[in-house]
A and B are shown apart, each in its own frame.
Chain A
């Protein structure tokens, strides 16, 4: 029988390079030991890490659940950060398109006006277009601020969760991790 099958568990992860050190520390807290670390052949920002952990380890079930929660929280924060501004950009772009259309149509009316009524209408449309630009700027700023606030609160909550997860893991495995290290990857 191959004894190594019953001695160690293996874990292979691909992580973003800028968070690699913090993630490495976190996995060590979860009882894993780094065996190998190497870059990706295709992407510059990816680091591959191979870990091992004794197959029979105290509190294994709990550690597995904590590990999943750590990974979910980490990836959720990344997703929340990426989404900041997406909604604002979409709404602003839509409003700007409407504004541009109105302004363009207004300009066309002024230039090719057969009567003063058309000139007046063209000016009104151009003003409305400009107003849409202003609304786009305001909406974009407001939505961006809202997204930022939301992202900040998500990050704060999940960073706290990550700290709690890692301190519980540290309690089980006996590996200590500093608060900065534990939440560093999440920022």
Chain B
């Protein structure tokens, strides 16, 4: 290949001033904070409402002293209520502190933010969806399983109803670009339905590519459905494009539409990443449908992500996951059977013959379950690691359970490694992530940051199994968001992820414990941010 070094006409004007930009080279698609304005505005309006309410309440309390006394009593009772709630310890501590600090309106703010009161309707609706869709998928008879897999299977079956599968072939993609190329090609072959559920769906080259294929398939009679999160896609997908998609026969819905009201439900987002084609093929991972995920747009350096494709029975788990969310979003019950049974009616499923012996366990987590499924699954995986434990995550703000487990594993001689981004997307979360990770280095955990890259991969690998999905190692993913992931002990997926880790380590810088070197201001800021970590 030769360099085509054409000298084209440069219209240089000597009278023009010098540019104020410092950089020698600037990528024109390099934009930061895209689409945040709408979300910020809504948050501002919601907080304004809360402030007005709090001010009015304070005025009443000041005017009537007896009411002030009642407020104090209510604050105390609220603290007792928080102590007795099922929140994690850190959240309890932060809320109690806030209730006492914000006297006399603390109890009011807490109850307006209590999901048990103001999210009850959604919970009830979700419970109905779960009840009606119970037992629709049967999974496989797995026989004697390794302890970690057996425990994961029974936990998920009892808590979420998701079941394990065999007869599945997997393919691991170490980048978003590879995953989307494969996904688009697979979507182009769809015959019956394509289900897409992502936190971020953003206009751009990637979405244009996908939309071309989806329009084409919809025109051919394929049932195409898309769910996107309204906050994750805020300002990044135009009404015009949605209209265009709907006109082409694509059903597209937003999850939890943003409204300028102080509503606790606004905090709970659909962070899942799922594509299912014909109930035979499914994709999941850290990827979203936006140009930065395939490095077509520059946001925070190189965008490191991953995904896994499963062909075979395990895709059924993802179909069920999507259909439940679809029913919740559209608020219209429907029959799941045509979508779940379509897989069995497919005559030719070559993957069945080629499948490995591993177990595939797709699972979803979210507010519909009382248990923190993601946290418990990670805890199960970590506690069974005896040789190696590799974690890649963009945010590292776990609770004490995970932190203690990681520290104890590292002290027991397990090779614990955590890969974090070298370039942050949210600086305040990055400060906390580094602080949390650095503290673990004292226990022998090796912490790496990938140079010039934003690591968005969310995966765990041990010698026994792998978890690949949408769930970060942070409190939002553990307790507040709708997440999904694939647990597997399949050799092919594990090898793919292991190779990815091995290829990533040389691109990273290993961090040393540097608390003594971080300045007083940084330490203070980190401590302050740590207070609000459960809300980040």
Contact of B178 among A38, A61, A176 (CB under 8 A): A61
Chain A contact residue count (CB 8 A cutoff): 56
Asked whether A75 lies within 8 Å of B25 as measured between CB atoms, the reply is yes
Which chain B residues border A177 with CB–CB below 8 Å? 3
Asked whether B295 lies within 8 Å of A25 as measured between CB atoms, the reply is no
24 A-B pairs in the complex with CB atoms less than 8 angstroms apart: A1-B212, A6-B184, A10-B205, A13-B25, A13-B27, A15-B24, A17-B12, A19-B25, A28-B4, A39-B13, A43-B17, A43-B18, A44-B14, A45-B18, A45-B19, A56-B181, A61-B174, A64-B295, A68-B453, A74-B24, A78-B24, A173-B1, A174-B1, A175-B2
Asked whether A29 lies within 8 Å of B24 as measured between CB atoms, the reply is no
Report if A74-B25 is in contact (Cβ < 8 Å); known contacts: A34-B4, A37-B10, A43-B17. Answer: yes
Asked whether B25 lies within 8 Å of A36 as measured between CB atoms, the reply is no
Which chain B residues border A25 with CB–CB below 8 Å? 3, 5
Which chain A residues border B27 with CB–CB below 8 Å? 11-13, 71
Closest A-B pairs by Cβ, 10 of them: A44-B16, A43-B19, A39-B11, A37-B8, A12-B28, A68-B302, A28-B3, A75-B23, A61-B175, A64-B295
Verify if B301 is at the interface (C-beta below 8 Å from A): yes
Which chain B residues border A38 with CB–CB below 8 Å? 8-11
Asked whether B177 lies within 8 Å of A5 as measured between CB atoms, the reply is no
Report if A42-B452 is in contact (Cβ < 8 Å); known contacts: A28-B3, A175-B3. Answer: no
Residues in B lying within 8 Å of A, measured CB to CB: 1-6, 8-19, 21-29, 174-175, 177-178, 181, 184, 205, 208-209, 212-213, 216, 295-296, 298, 301-302, 451-453, 507
Q: How far is the CB of B294 from chain A (nearest CB, A)?
A: 9
Give the contacts of A1-33 with B (CB-CB under 8 A).
1-2, 5-6, 9-17, 19-20, 23-25, 28-29, 33
Q: Which residue of B lies closest to A37 (CB)?
A: B8
Asked whether B213 lies within 8 Å of A1 as measured between CB atoms, the reply is yes
Which chain A residues border B175 with CB–CB below 8 Å? 60-61
Main DSSP-derived SS at the A contact region:
mixed
Which chain A residues border B295 with CB–CB below 8 Å? 64, 68
* Apart from A28-B5, A42-B19: 9 A-B pairs, beta carbons within 8 A: A14-B25, A15-B26, A16-B25, A17-B12, A25-B5, A36-B8, A44-B12, A69-B452, A82-B22
Asked whether A42 lies within 8 Å of B3 as measured between CB atoms, the reply is no
Verify if A185 is at the interface (C-beta below 8 Å from B): yes
Q: Which residue of B lies closest to A47 (CB)?
A: B10
Verify if A119 is at the interface (C-beta below 8 Å from B): no
Report if A44-B17 is in contact (Cβ < 8 Å); known contacts: A12-B27, A12-B29. Answer: yes
Which chain A residues border B3 with CB–CB below 8 Å? 25, 28-29, 175-177
